[in-house]
Structure 1
Amino acid sequence: MRADRLMTIMILLQNRGKMTAKELAEELEVSDRTILRDMDALSTAGIPVVSDRGKDGGWRLVDNFRSQLSGLTMDDLKSLFLFPSGKVLEDLGLHSGALDTRQKLLAAIPGTFRGEAEAIWERIHIDSSTWRASKENLDALKTVQQAVWESKKLTILYEQADGEQNERVVEPLGLVAKGDTWYLVAIRDSEFRNYRVSRIHKAIVENETFIRPANFILAGYWEQSKEEFIQRLPAYDVQVEIHPSVMKRLYFTSKFVQVIKKESSSPDQWIEATLRFNAEQEAVEYIVGFANKMKIIAPKDLKSKVVSLANSVIDFYNEL
């Protein structure tokens, strides 16, 4: 589209200072004549573009013209240039064009800040994906996203945690990426609900629109919802003594265990700690994995359950 091309010309001239019509034509894959017509259009719109003749000539913006952002601080710059994971943008279908978005930002900010902005870009990269690529089914994401943008009701076939599937009509308010997992925030039966997009097996955008709740802020709702979910999680605490040789494993063995207390000691002494699990069975299986490097202090009845599981493993392999 011509409007996009005119904006790109402005950005290129802002970033590079001066370019010939031929250079612009090659960059934008159009003819020299098209560039000349575009320059006339920019001048008519009040953009101060001029052409310098001669060997070092070319098109430039008068007086280093910048479409500056007012009131920009260094913290603002850091926020602008700390882009989310490319995987998140790809899931949403937001692919980078020929000119990187950050190049456009560089063109728009005051010249005194450009060096700092480039430094942030070069020094920090955010990758919010997990080490192992997600295998979740995101076939419905595009349809869900359409309903979110258009504020239209959405009929979904949703699979619950127990595997049961049922159809429901929801009012989609927004999408949230947590790690590489997508959630739909929606209203159903006048209540806010969270749906894991990978469990949506079918989605149909209805023609009927809905009115978003006044003053609804997606980020604020999500933080509150997340905190309430954490508070509802069951907690099973176990006091143990841990051999120092396996302390590093403690933080990498399971994503479900939480170390809520650890008593410091000398390097050759056992370390007292309190571990928090979601359930007793999780604690039993976790502790068995550390063999003779973890002792149970409390609850005392947990010892017999760990011994029972260990014996069942021994009996199983003796019979093979």
Structure 2
Amino acid sequence: MRADRLLNIMILLQNRGKMTAKELATKLEVSERTILRDMDALSHAGIPIISDRGKDGGWRLLDNFRTHLSGLNTDDVKSLFLFPSEELLKDLGFNKQTLDTRQKLLASIPETFQEEAQVSWERIHIDSGTWRQTKESVHALKTVQQAVWESKRLTIVYKQANGEQKERLVEPLGLVAKGNRWYLVASRNGELRNYRVSRIHTAKIEDETFRRPLDFNLADYWEQSKKEFIQNLPQYDVQVELHPAIIKRINFTGKFVQFIKTENPNGDKWIPAALRFNDKQEAIEFILGFANKIKVISPKDLPNEVVSSAISVIKFYKNK
């Protein structure tokens, strides 16, 4: 609804200070032309909206103008009670208090929202860990977090994927928890980079502070970074037929393979399927693990390579 969008524009400008029409359009999932019409509507309604031109231009509210509208609805209030896992909060040094923070929050909101908030709290719990907890060592997290809070440059010794360690001087902009892993988002030589905190061998806070980019938004950047990472992942697609006996097992191996589609069983009751791997070697190892319960249809050269790998395994153990 347009009224909700106008309110959201005011809240965004109030919280962020200044945003371009393009940024607002992206955030609210409308066109820039719609945003410009909304700005006219807000001006005619007496809201002091100002447009700054130039390189660092954008829309902003008149200085010292603040609305008294929170924009909170029932769903917003319920979402406030869906806290992250205690493990992540402990990583950041937020130790659990005697009185749960949600108790304090519950006491501060209007009575009309309290019942819905209580229901949300009692019925939904978020656990960001895995079934077999493999907690990464994040000994540098405290230092990294301090540098983020204080906007101070940070010298890190970072272990790259190939095992080589490199020293880097970065400007830490924020921390992101992805599952049970922590990532540092930082600027280096003017470029935004992601660093897994568990790979930071040492971290030293420098005396020099830095100025955060005015247009940087951590959540927006991370979403875009994820999309680009997924788009650049390698893909190796395989057409197979699956024996009915392994269907239940294979559905639990999503870490190594992605199901693209399955079809109705054929005359032999085998199930045609399309599988996606990161690369050919990953596909070979996965197929070998199911022995004679997976038939490879394509690529045509893959069955021979599976056989070759199987022969290598047999020779290795025969010579033991």
Structures share a fold, TM > 0.5? yes
Q: What TM-score bracket applies, with the shorter chain setting the length?
A: 0.7 to 0.9
Give the CA deviation at 1:267: 11
TM-score for the superposition, normalised by structure 1: 0.76
Matching of residues 198-217 of structure 1 within 5 Å: 198-217=198-217
Moved over 4 A (4+): none
Give the CA deviation at 1:71: 4.5
Query: Which protein shows a greater Rg?
Result: 1
| Larger mean Cα displacement after TM superposition, 307-316 or 143-152 | 307-316
Gaps of at least 5 residues in structure 2 are 1-68
Q: Distance in 2 between matches of 1:155 and 1:132?
A: 33
User: Who is 2:111 aligned against?
Assistant: 111
- Counterpart code for 1:240: V
**RMSD of Structure 2 on Structure 1 (CA):** 1.8
Q: Distance in 2 between matches of 1:267 and 1:200?
A: 55
SS at match of 1:247: helix
- Does structure 2 retain, via aligned residues, the 8 Å contact 1:241–1:296? yes
Can you list the C-alpha shifts for 1:55-83, whole angstroms capped at 9, x where unaligned? Answer: xxxxxxxxxxxxxx955321112210110
Q: Distance in 2 between matches of 1:110 and 1:117?
A: 10
Matching of residues 243-254 of structure 1 within 5 Å: 243-254=243-254
Q: Distance in 2 between matches of 1:223 and 1:116?
A: 29
User: Who is 2:311 aligned against?
Assistant: 311
Give the CA deviation at 1:116: 1.6
User: Who is 1:275 aligned against?
Assistant: 275
SS at match of 2:72: coil
Give the CA deviation at 1:275: 0.7
- Does structure 2 retain, via aligned residues, the 8 Å contact 1:244–1:267? no
Give the CA deviation at 1:220: 0.7
Can you list the C-alpha shifts for 1:37-59, whole angstroms capped at 9, x where unaligned? Answer: xxxxxxxxxxxxxxxxxxxxxxx
Asked if 1:189 is matched to 2:189, the reply is: yes
Matching of residues 132-211 of structure 1 within 5 Å: 132-211=132-211
SS at match of 1:99: coil
Matching of residues 111-130 of structure 1 within 5 Å: 111-130=111-130
Give the CA deviation at 1:260: 1.0
Give the CA deviation at 1:132: 2.1
- Counterpart code for 1:144: V
Q: Distance in 2 between matches of 1:264 and 1:101?
A: 51
Give the CA deviation at 1:308: 1.1
| Larger mean Cα displacement after TM superposition, 181-190 or 96-105 | 96-105
Give the CA deviation at 1:281: 0.5
Q: Distance in 2 between matches of 1:214 and 1:227?
A: 23
User: Who is 2:98 aligned against?
Assistant: 98
Give the CA deviation at 1:124: 0.5
Q: Distance in 1 between matches of 2:242 and 2:165?
A: 44
Q: Distance in 1 between matches of 2:176 and 2:139?
A: 16
Give the CA deviation at 1:171: 0.3
- Does structure 2 retain, via aligned residues, the 8 Å contact 1:156–1:201? yes
Asked if 1:291 is matched to 2:309, the reply is: no
User: Who is 1:258 aligned against?
Assistant: 258
- Does structure 2 retain, via aligned residues, the 8 Å contact 1:154–1:204? yes
Give the CA deviation at 1:137: 1.8
Q: Distance in 1 between matches of 2:247 and 2:307?
A: 22
SS at match of 1:255: coil
Give the CA deviation at 1:247: 1.0
- Counterpart code for 1:186: A
- Counterpart code for 1:126: I
The alpha-carbon distance between structure 1 residues 268 and 108, as it changes in their structure 2 partners (threshold 3 A), is farther
Q: Distance in 2 between matches of 1:106 and 1:100?
A: 10
Can you list the C-alpha shifts for 1:3-58, whole angstroms capped at 9, x where unaligned? Answer: xxxxxxxxxxxxxxxxxxxxxxxxxxxxxxxxxxxxxxxxxxxxxxxxxxxxxxxx
Matching of residues 64-75 of structure 1 within 5 Å: 71-75=71-75
Aligned length: 253
- Does structure 1 retain, via aligned residues, the 8 Å contact 2:128–2:180? yes
- Counterpart code for 1:181: R
User: Who is 2:38 aligned against?
Assistant: none
Q: Distance in 1 between matches of 2:241 and 2:129?
A: 34
- Does structure 2 retain, via aligned residues, the 8 Å contact 1:243–1:271? yes
SS at match of 2:171: strand
Give the CA deviation at 1:142: 0.1
Q: Distance in 2 between matches of 1:204 and 1:267?
A: 65
Q: Distance in 1 between matches of 2:88 and 2:156?
A: 22
Gaps of at least 5 residues in structure 1 are 1-68
- Counterpart code for 2:303: K
Give the CA deviation at 1:285: 0.5
